[in-house]
A and B are shown apart, each in its own frame.
Chain A
């Protein structure tokens, strides 16, 4: 029990005290980015990891929530109304996504979500009267819940951290809940699940909505972080990027998407300051992960750790038997 709770306690404590020791507003901001991208990746992981339904259109959902916040504020509504509307529109869009794309699985699902994502990107680009087209929408202010202005990067970090921790807890419970177990069941044995009395489509639909909710939440945090939204956010590269976070970290695990988000955001922001060709570096890292740890960083590290800490004697015996053909 202690072996499990201690690392979690240390991690939470480190995150809570982070602005004190990380040395600089810049790094606090980078961590905020990691946290909301981690929520995004956790959301996609619900489908891609636990459900085996790989979506290449999630940036569209992420972006639509961001746009709704921007547009609502532009119309003169308050932050609360903007956020609630963004959550509602994000989830309705996810429901439409789900109704259209859940008709198929595998490659078919990828292609339909890709197409839907491109439609939203196209709308953001072309529906200039609402989205401002290429110029995007500026979000001049951040909200101030309980009188705490999130314009301060430290406060924004803590707000993001609270939402992040709530999301992690929600996903952790989801993965162990009847619906989570059923979702993983439909990933591995859809026919069997059907024969056991499960409505496979309904299970996948609810999982989609949960994924969409997390995606909307991260999209809202994103737009308040950058205070700007443009069609670029909805582009296919964004969808691919978040999918890479999930795949590199370890799909179907709780920690994997978080680690993946950390990796991508750090390389994108910090390393790009030192190396001009940071895309090349990111690509090289992914190639290395796929070759060395095809199951993802988190499960791969666990596997190596177990190998390293296993007793020497049986390991030698294994080598001997392997040597004898």
Chain B
């Protein structure tokens, strides 16, 4: 298993989906989805409401068990792994509905996020803020994201746009190799969307990103490859230009008579 990931080096996909299916009773939410994401790839998944985008994310991150098919992370089959083990291997995600800790400060949110992958997370006889290394890492993360001036603000007092950015910073706290973004621009004004796009473009170029988004401006700026999902199935995959001019995609979004 481990030799496979090492010998092939950069050639091993960070994330690979092979014929992934998920049904809820009679409803096929995901049908035979195959995807391959290499280090540094920026992929987007678009599709109308109910196309199964978030379900796909929940399968990849292990919230739902897959009905059939395989999920490979760095060449290792993680199909049956629980979420927290996938995170430990280098996968992180954000949520469509902001899932921060509203009563904690920005800094405490990041501290908690970093601690998630440290073995000392089960310690109950030492104060969290006494862990120097974690504290410094949090500082560094906030500095990179230009958040240091707001580190002591309670999260519920941040603007929605700032909360969406913090959502991504928490995702970055575990030093992921692949980041799954579930509608990072959800509910943002057009000005905030531009901010978000800049923020996403400023992320480490080696980091692979899989993005679900409705805001096409964000998608076309950030992604270099787009897959269109419809009724749980990948209809088309291509460059932003190809997708933009595809007749079938327009049909899905605008409908036929």
Contacts and interface: CB of A to CB of B under 8 A. Distances in A.
B124 A196 contact: no
Interface in A152-199: 173-174, 176-182, 184-185, 188-189, 191-199
Nearest to A196: B116
B103 A188 contact: yes
B112 interface: yes
A251 B99 CA distance: 22
Contacts of A173: 124-127
A185 B124 contact: no
A20 interface: no
Interface stretch (B44-52, B88-96, B137-145, B199-207): B88-96
A206 interface: yes
B125 A191 contact: no
Contacts of A184: 101
Contacts, number: 95
A305 B101 CA distance: 26
Contact of B121 (A174, A178, A194): A178
Interface in A179-230: 179-182, 184-185, 188-189, 191-200, 202-203, 206, 210
A210 B124 contact: yes
B63 A197 contact: no
B151 to A, nearest CB: 16
B102 A179 contact: no
Contacts of A210: 124
A87 B209 CA distance: 50
Contact of A196 (B82, B127, B129, B174): B174
Interface in B108-125: 108, 111-113, 115-118, 120-125
A84 to B, nearest CB: 21
Nearest to A192: B99
Contacts of B129: 176
Interface residues of B, number: 38
Contacts of B128: 176-178, 180-181
Contacts of A185: 101, 112
Contacts of B103: 188
A261 to B, nearest CB: 22
Contacts of A178: 115, 118, 120-124, 126, 128, 131
A198 B124 contact: no
Interface in A2-42: none
B84 interface: yes
A185 B125 CA distance: 18
B12 interface: no
Nearest to A198: B116
Q: Give the interface SS of chain A, mostly helix, strand, loop or mixed.
A: helix
B87 A195 contact: yes
A188 B102 contact: yes
A189 B127 contact: no
Nearest to A174: B124
B100 A177 contact: no
Contacts of A199: 82, 84
A302 to B, nearest CB: 14
B193 interface: no
Contacts of B120: 178
B83 interface: yes
B173 interface: yes
A306 to B, nearest CB: 15
A100 to B, nearest CB: 20
B128 to A, nearest CB: 5
B61 A195 contact: yes
Nearest to B129: A176
A179 B122 contact: yes
A179 B123 contact: yes
B170 interface: yes
Given A181-B128, A185-B112, A192 B95 contact: yes
Contact of B170 (A179, A182, A191, A196): A196
Contacts of B116: 193, 196-198
A182 B92 contact: no
B166 to A, nearest CB: 12
A206 B112 CA distance: 17
B112 A182 contact: yes
A176 B131 CA distance: 12
B158 to A, nearest CB: 16
B124 A181 contact: no
18 contacts: A178-B118, A178-B123, A179-B122, A180-B124, A181-B111, A181-B112, A182-B115, A189-B99, A189-B100, A191-B95, A191-B99, A194-B84, A195-B61, A195-B95, A195-B171, A197-B174, A199-B84, A202-B122
Top 7 A-B pairs, shortest CB-CB distance:
A196-B116, A197-B87, A197-B116, A192-B99, A179-B124, A197-B117, A176-B127
